[in-house]
Chains A and B, each alone.
Chain A
């Protein structure tokens, strides 16, 4: 095939990182067209983080990998910490797992809300149409849709409140400075919400900004700052304050004093309230108006989930019973869903993960290698930038699906491209919910899918089928659903279905317990006690399965090799050697565009994956050519390296 692409988005905005999308639409003669083949997804930025990690102290790796992405900052750090803990055989305490669960959980809630309002909403919400809204009718709509939500200085929203939002927008227009709203696809025929619905969602766009900076305080109390809170191999660096009062020069203490614990509790309550009162009803409102989007954006139907949110209650004795080795205790189960059996959870085998660089700008294996041995080298042979456009306005910079075309490698599981992320989480929970191993949260998921998605419209549902979850709309729906599950898991669920005290309360009750395993830093000097050759750390990030593989040098104790296979790499990766497209590429097949010059429909589907491209790009160096000389004088036997750090 390879018809010349006539739909190009570069840069794709409202994502993390740098992404280019190309596709070919068969023109309909009226300015629009239909994409009949898979598109092309290309990452156009690289930093080389894994190469930078070689020869480093494994205790430091979390800080490096955290900077893979400032949006999913916590999960990259924790995956690294878990990989090193796995490599050296160190278990963490209950408190550490409760806190990690809360930090990852808060990351989900924060990320997903901001994704919906700040990165995705403007694909569905026409800001210019909002300016025609009647503030009184908008207030009435708000009371129906968002019930008890009180954004108006603690009061229910009224006409005056929405008039203020309108003035805000009018101000932008009358100044002629639309700022972030400038040059959108406003007035595009694919926008369907009423002016009042548009205004309501614009108001929540603004509210969510202020909400977000409050909820990240959970990370700040536990990790000292956000983004990029501090973590440590062996547990958590924070600890209960000996001084419950104000932290100061005289009394000392830590952030986990009465005020800090109260800050966390408030953040947890705010998360839950916003999800229940604003995010969930808003997604349902948008879904009702855009139901046809359950028919676009499907991937091949294979899903992968590493598992996340261990149940710390399963830790019986601190530091001896593993906290992350028992899949039964995960909220999101570890497993695989294959297209031919969408309700069956198949087992996951870490050995079946491979990466290939057939269409990526690296020298390395075209056929695929396990990440623990995969080694590749930067090799850009794409078109030159800065060449301007052809006289007819078409691009001189065109990527070719038959050549190398992205900085993202293609990960495969058992040779297949897999979709990861919210859809995978919900489908794996749904599948386990039908087995003897069903967890209470699985049953909740099944109930919500039935109630919101499958129930007929007469009963308040969307009247869609289970199969239609594999779609652009299904992805958005599964994202809000998992956000609700997690927000409730942190805050707790009242008596009734699946009553649960909540991670915050369970941690609070145990707060005087241990935060850090005191054997950690000495264990780094004892390679004979390291249980595995390659440490595997994983999390289920908000965007899906995230794995780090670390190989430590048994003489120096430093990092020999480090590899990450991350969520957006699974989803945004290029074709493999067989030409099988990655999930973004596959999902574009079948899209009908009203206007090829304004490919809003393509943006909708790409954004439904919540692209995080900084995450997806990484490299290591070729076999036998370490770029960092490992200094054997920093040997494990040397007392200077870590002994000063170990427990007194």
Chain B
């Protein structure tokens, strides 16, 4: 398996290999057993994860070690102008599937040392926890939500500190910053026209504040559950992933959702769905005329699918709204109109429902 190119032909969820061919040390196996997880089940999980991340199987022992080391990597998760959808998504990603539950990422593979929606501590005790975990270097700082540019605007205050101050302090000793969701990655909804609170993406704010730290954008509104945890685990086991020009990991964001969409044949050859619930909709024909933004949206929805491979937007009959792209709320389509039900412009390489070729290039920049 190559390092960075996921298999295009695989439309199903991540493949779970048996993992029997991989071994790791006894101490690790012992620790897992204590947690009620059999070696076989764990290896099959790691193999599946490696396959999802398009990693060579040789990385599996490293994943296993990262997940069972005596000291788990510290993750500090901070929320700003957000809706909690990103966290909900991450909570849904707890791996291993089925069976017992003493087996999720948050309690087994990382130490989630600060997360306001889930943590036991409140008020001053929560603030003390934040100060103590960010006093040591090397944690991964996960951020969701945009941040108002001006500290004195009053648009975001928590623990008596502005969003700007909270972020700047927390970023100081972070080894890596992961912007989860389109709000954090690109400004998202708060930044939608007319951006009433002067909201900024994490990357833009870092530039303003002259913070130079490695940054990964995991965009999507919200991102796919497995993609959020996948990116964190990739970093912990193998370091920085390859990023596209928008700092998104190419392993998940290298292709458009259109490229792996099972409706693509009718995109090229027709017939197209013209209304929700029409005969072509029931047959699973292309949703281009109903406004699908799949051809200009880089994400893994049609490949990884959502919620353990259950479905994805086009499979459930609605076009892609383009949620992993910058400024998707204000995207201009045909006749320069905004709207999720307005077909993308022919300038994007698409004449009205007819075949096109320009949307299939792999660097996939939005050529609108």
Contacts and interface: CB of A to CB of B under 8 A. Distances in A.
A171 interface: yes
A227 B316 contact: no
8 contacts: A11-B116, A71-B88, A216-B92, A224-B314, A225-B224, A242-B279, A640-B335, A646-B275
Interface of B: 11, 34-36, 70-72, 74, 79-89, 91-94, 98-104, 106-107, 111-113, 115-129, 151-162, 165, 188-190, 192-194, 196-197, 199, 221-222, 224-225, 262-266, 274-279, 281-285, 289-291, 301, 306-308, 310-318, 321, 323, 329, 334-335, 337-343, 352
A247 B262 contact: yes
Contacts of B317: 224, 230, 236-239, 254-255
A237 B284 CA distance: 12
B154 A213 contact: no
Given A13-B119, A16-B84, A248-B262, A227 B89 contact: yes
Contacts of B197: 46-48, 378
Contacts of A18: 79, 156-158
Contacts of A396: 160
Nearest to A170: B34
B300 to A, nearest CB: 12
B262 to A, nearest CB: 5
A597 B351 CA distance: 66
B101 A209 contact: yes
Contacts of A614: 82-84
Given A9-B122, A11-B126, A164-B34, 6 more contacts: A71-B83, A73-B88, A118-B118, A209-B104, A216-B92, A647-B278
Contact of B311 (A11, A220, A619, A628): A220
Interface size class of A (residues with CB under 8 A): 35 or more
Given A59-B339, A68-B83, A224-B312, A183 B125 contact: yes
B83 A69 contact: yes
B158 A57 contact: no
Interface stretch (A173-181, A282-290, A565-573): A173-181
Contacts of B91: 209, 212-213
B284 A179 contact: no
A184 B196 CA distance: 37
Contact of A60 (B104, B119, B340): B340
A253 B84 contact: no
Interface of A: 8-18, 44-49, 51-52, 56-57, 59-60, 63-64, 67-71, 73, 118-119, 122, 127, 151-154, 164-165, 167-168, 171-172, 175, 177, 179-185, 206-207, 209-213, 216-217, 219-232, 234-243, 247-249, 251-256, 260, 263, 361, 378, 380, 382, 384-387, 395-397, 514-516, 518, 521, 597-599, 603, 614, 619, 627-628, 634, 640-642, 644-648
A515 B276 contact: yes
A387 to B, nearest CB: 8
- Centre residue among A57, A151, A181, A210 by max chain B CB count within 10 A: A210
B169 to A, nearest CB: 10
B276 to A, nearest CB: 4
A11 B159 contact: yes
Contact of B196 (A47, A234, A380, A518): A47
Contacts of B102: 164-165, 168, 206
Contact of B190 (A48, A60, A63, A225): A48
B318 A385 contact: no
B313 A224 contact: yes
B160 A73 contact: no
